[in-house]
Chains A and B, each alone.
Chain A
Amino acid sequence: EVQLVESGGGLVKPGGSLRLSCVGSGFTFSNAWMNWVRQAPGKGLEWIGRFKSKANGGTIEYAAPVKGRFTVSRDDSINMFYLHMNSLKIEDTALYYCTTGRVFDIWGQGTMVTVSS
């Protein structure tokens, strides 16, 4: 079964840090372009970062609201994709989804990040 499972969410204070993890199974992880997409409570979808497969150059891209604060990384040996979040702001509160592809064809269930004092 093709699956993505996120973990690592929680409550963090403004200015704090958090690392989200995503494990993939049922597909060739090393060939997949991996993305993070977030959804604030009751709001729409926002793409925030991508790590292309090594075969496609391993290019990393970010959306402007998170560039310089968030970092994506991957470990293909254990099918893991990460989002390292620093200098968190209240507006980063959201459900964070891990997704695959140039279009987002596989999605996890998401992990909730709440930034609050």
Chain B
Amino acid sequence: DIVMTQSPDSLAVSLGERATLNCKSSQSVLYNSDNNNYLAWYQQKPGQPPKLLIQWASARESGVPDRFSGSGSGTDFTLTISSLQAEDVAVYYCQQYYSNPFTFGPGTKVDIK
């Protein structure tokens, strides 16, 4: 199984400041035949289901604000919130869809400082 780890466990950022969330997979999720990273990011607010933010490591979903960006390749990935807004308070999960089982990281909780 591919094990996903995330760091930090939690972080508090001032409104308008940058938040950087890290995700690491225990093996590469870059599929050589199509040169795509099979890595997604989700946002989960309290009492709500998760929401897909980014797929293919860096492709933002329609309607997701452009302050959210994804980067990385292979085994190391980053989700950046360029200017934190109050509505961004949530837990963020990375997930690999490279191979069964399609595993999630344990999440990073983002709060306002």
How far apart are B51's CB and chain A's nearest CB, in angstroms? 7
A102 to chain B, nearest CB (A): 6
User: What residues of chain A lie closer than 8 Å to B55, measured between beta carbons?
Assistant: 103, 105
Q: Indicate if B103 sits at the interface (CB-CB under 8 A).
A: yes
B66 located at the interface, meaning its Cβ lies under 8 Å from any Cβ of chain A in the complex: no
| Stretch touching chain B among A16-24, A39-47, A78-86 | A39-47
Is the beta-carbon distance between B50 and A45 smaller than 8 angstroms? yes
* Cβ–Cβ contact A103 & B40, under 8 A: yes
Residues of A within 8 A of B100 (CB): 61, 63
CB-CB under 8 A from A46, the residues of chain B are 104
- Cβ of A109 within 8 Å of any chain B Cβ, yes or no, is yes
Q: Is A27 an interface residue (CB 8 A)?
A: no
| A-to-B contact residues, CB < 8 Å | 44-47, 50, 61, 63-64, 97, 102-105, 107-110
Question: Nearest-CB distance from B104 to chain A (Å)?
Answer: 4
Q: List 10 A-B contacts (CB under 8 A).
A: A44-B106, A45-B95, A46-B104, A103-B55, A104-B42, A104-B52, A105-B52, A105-B61, A107-B51, A110-B49
Contacts of B50 in A (CB 8 A): 45, 97, 104, 107
Q: Is the CB of A102 within 8 A of B97?
A: yes
**Residue interface mask B31-53, A partner, CB < 8 A = 1:** 00000000010101000011110
Report the Cα distance A41→B87, complex, angstroms: 23
